[in-house]
Amino acid sequence: MTYAEFPNTTGRVHEVLAGRAIPFGRQATLSAIQKHPITGEVRIPRHGIECNEQGDSRIHGGVDKAIHCYPFEHYSAWRSEISHVPVLGQVGAFGENLSLSGLVEQTVCLGDIWCIGSTQLVVTQGRQPCWKLNIRFGVTDMARRVQDSLRAGWYMRVEQEGILQAGDPVVLLARPHPNWPIARLLALIRDRATDTQTLEEVLCLPLVTSWQYLFQNRLRDGIAEAWGSRMDGHG
């Protein structure tokens, strides 16, 4: 099966989650990675889940990262690999806003337009995991494990404000880039791809600014970026 032959995948909202920005980690950095399920209808304005907060707006949030989605199916795989981690006992472990069933990185494509409830959302990028996951899970290399596995989730932009809730179906309205599932893009980052033809093709996509810079720099320099600061919290 080629990327273009993926079926028009639909799924369902398993849980809607939100969190408050509270001190986190040794340096008491503010973070809202600890999410909790919300019952009933939830309003989704442009900035994302109405009652959700962001610890550092320079890195998290914004219109292109309004909502973080994570596949519910991944939890069983993580529990088999790191069964001793308590936070895997319930959804929200990865800081997701939407826990989704029936959707994974291999079947969700960049630019997909989804209808959930009365809300329309657009897939903008995959998640690049950071050091906060290491602390959250108590596993020193958790961010790297998430990146290597491609089980990272993805972000969405709110195209049309509305209301959604747990149990709502996820309906695909449009798929403008069927050859570019999120897993393929995440794999290019993970594998430190610098192939000119591939990078030129990627740069024709509607990338968020940070990913434009990432792939432009790889194309220009012929090497991949350093990950120390993002993965481990130091340069």
Torsion, CA 228, CA 230, CA 234, CA 235, rounded to 10? 50
pLDDT at 28: 62
Q: Write the secondary structure of the chain as one string of H (helix), E (strand) and C (coil).
A: CCHHHCCCCCEEEEEEEECCCEEECCCCEEECCCCEECCCCEEECCCCCCCCCCCCCCCCCCHHHCEEEEECCHHHHHHHHCCCCHHHHCCCCCCCCEEEECCCCCCCECCCEEEECCEEEEEEEECCCCCHHHHHHCCCCHHHHHHHHCCCCEEEEEEECEEECCCCEEEEEECCCCCCEHHHHHHHHHCCCCCHHHHHHHCCCCCCHHHHHHHHHHHHHCCCCCCHHHHHCCC
pLDDT of residue 61: 62
| 208 burial level (CB within 10 Å; 0-12, 13-18, 19+) | middle
* Residues 189, 72: Cα–Cα separation, whole Å: 23
**Two structure tokens written together for 143:** 């961010």
pLDDT for residue 21 = 74
Record the tokens describing residue 47, joined without a space.
Answer: 């900035």
**Which CATH class, in words, describes the domain spanning 3-232?**
mainly beta
CA distance 92 to 61: 17
**Of 124, 142, 122, the residue nearest 132 (C-alpha):** 142
Asked whether 3 and 178 are in contact (CB, 8 A), the reply is yes
Q: Which pLDDT score is estimated for 80?
A: 96
- pTM (two decimals): 0.91
Q: Say what the pLDDT of residue 5 is.
A: 59
Q: How many residues does the chain have?
A: 235
pLDDT for the residue 34: 79
Residues of the chain scoring pLDDT < 70: 1-9, 22-28, 53-61, 234-235
pLDDT of residue 144: 96
In which region does residue 226 sit, left (phi positive, over 0), alpha (psi from -120 to 50) or beta (all else)? Answer: beta
